[in-house]
Amino acid sequence: MNFKQAVVLAAGEGERLRPFTASKPKVMIKVANKPVLQYVVEALASNGIRRIILVVGYKKEKIMDYFGDGAHFGVEIEYAVQEHLLGTGDALRYAEGKTDARFLVLPGDNVIDGATIEDLLDAEGNAILIKAYEDEDVSRYGVVMLENTYVRDIVEKPEKEISNLVNTGIYALDKTVFEFMEDELPAGLRRMVHAGYRVKAYETHGAWLDAVYPWDILRLNDIVLKSGRGERRIEGKVERGVTITGNVSVGKNTLIRANSYLQGPVLIGENCDIGPNVCIFPATSIGNDVRINAFSELSNTVLMDMVNIGSFCSIHDSIFDTGSRVEGGFVARSDEGDIEIGGEHHRVKVGVMVGEYCEIGSNVIATSGTIIGNHVRIKSMKELSGRIPDGSLVV
């Protein structure tokens, strides 16, 4: 193995993922009850790379408080702070004085595993990790054009299909790269290639999952849960009459009350109180300190920590961020519809996306694609649609 150090770029905000990035960076959004950045740190540690430079910026204290010096994760973390969020290349510049002669560079906002980066570890010279897609629209990514196995060009968000090889943003580099660096890292590598330097491409068949829009969190959560990471563990208390099928994990001090039904894959954190007579269907992640009251039903849903769901709620294909509460009779309708994000229009099947610390009254209905900002208060008996800004009061 040629590398003992990695630079992980974790400074960005993830504006298109609002409301979930209003109080935390994109890398700290949880997928299957774990921040995205933790998957990256663990992937490096599993490959014996334990010296990590984290380049942080937006809401950096959320990252630094969680990861600290890295000892809890079996690594040594040093921090570099990007003063102004100008791009990935600019972020890398802040690590320039701290790197070894050769080092890995990874984005902190993709879910990966140890196998993802294995092929890159023996790379000689400068190299890029790519992933081939056959049936997916790659226009939201940068794509790589090759000559034999070497990079000929990198094109960001191509308007027409010119390549199905996606730039994962994972690189093996030496210090030469700093001579060519621009605000965006792919642009710097492009300059390097055009100056005659060879950058070899390695294809990964491991996990590489990116969340660009809020509903992507559901897609990633579904993939991670179905991948079977983590064995079935029941560490809490399960009352009589509870039915559990499939891969279901229940955390410490969690109570599953009588006559509830859990169909995996389902992940439930610690100190939760669920039921009685609650149904939880596949691809649902539930954080810590969550309460789900009687006769509620959830499927393909992500609940972050300290969420409280009232009785007789029906929630599908939805996301609730930390500390939000809904009273009884809430319905999140899920259907295919049009959602506008930053001037882009997307047709997706999704329920409701709820920010942090919202208070939603009883018998509220949210139509498909409703996005509720942070700290929103909604009175009872309302029908919601579209986007509701942070701090709103709906009466």
Q: In this structure, are residues 165 and 158 in contact, taking their beta carbons and an 8 Å threshold?
A: no
Alpha carbon distance 81, 95 (integer Å): 9
Alpha carbon distance 362, 185 (integer Å): 49
Query: Which residues, 6+ apart, have CB-to-CB distance to 179 below 8 Å?
Result: none
User: Which spans in 208-280 are helix H?
Assistant: 216-226
Given pLDDT bands bounded at 50, 70 and 90, which one contains residue 155?
confident
Least confident of 58-62, 179-183, 265-269: 179-183
Per-residue confidence (pLDDT) for residue 67, from 0 to 100: 96
Ranges of each domain in the chain: 5-212, 229-394
Q: Which residues of 60-75 are buried (b: 16+ CB within 10 A; e: fewer)?
A: bebbeeebeebeebeb
pLDDT digits (tens, 9 = 90+) for 103-138: 999 999 999 888 889 888 888 889 999 888 765 666
The residue among 373, 393, 371, 376 whose CA lies nearest residue 384 is 371
pLDDT digits (tens, 9 = 90+) for 343-365: 778 888 999 999 999 999 999 99
Mean pLDDT, the chain, integer: 90
The architecture (CATH level 2) of 229-394 comes to 3 Solenoid (2.160)
Angle formed by the axes of helices 60-67 and 36-46, nearest 10°: 40
221 φ/ψ angles, rounded to the nearest 5 degrees: -60, -45
Given pLDDT bands bounded at 50, 70 and 90, which one contains residue 144?
confident
Q: In this structure, are residues 299 and 283 in contact, taking their beta carbons and an 8 Å threshold?
A: yes
pTM here is 0.91
Alpha carbon distance 259, 285 (integer Å): 20
What six digits make up the tokens of 119? 């092929």
pLDDT digits (tens, 9 = 90+) for 170-203: 999 989 889 888 888 888 888 888 888 888 888 8
Alpha carbon distance 187, 280 (integer Å): 46
Per-residue confidence (pLDDT) for residue 356, from 0 to 100: 96
The architecture (CATH level 2) of 5-212 comes to Alpha-Beta Complex (3.90)
Alpha carbon distance 293, 167 (integer Å): 44
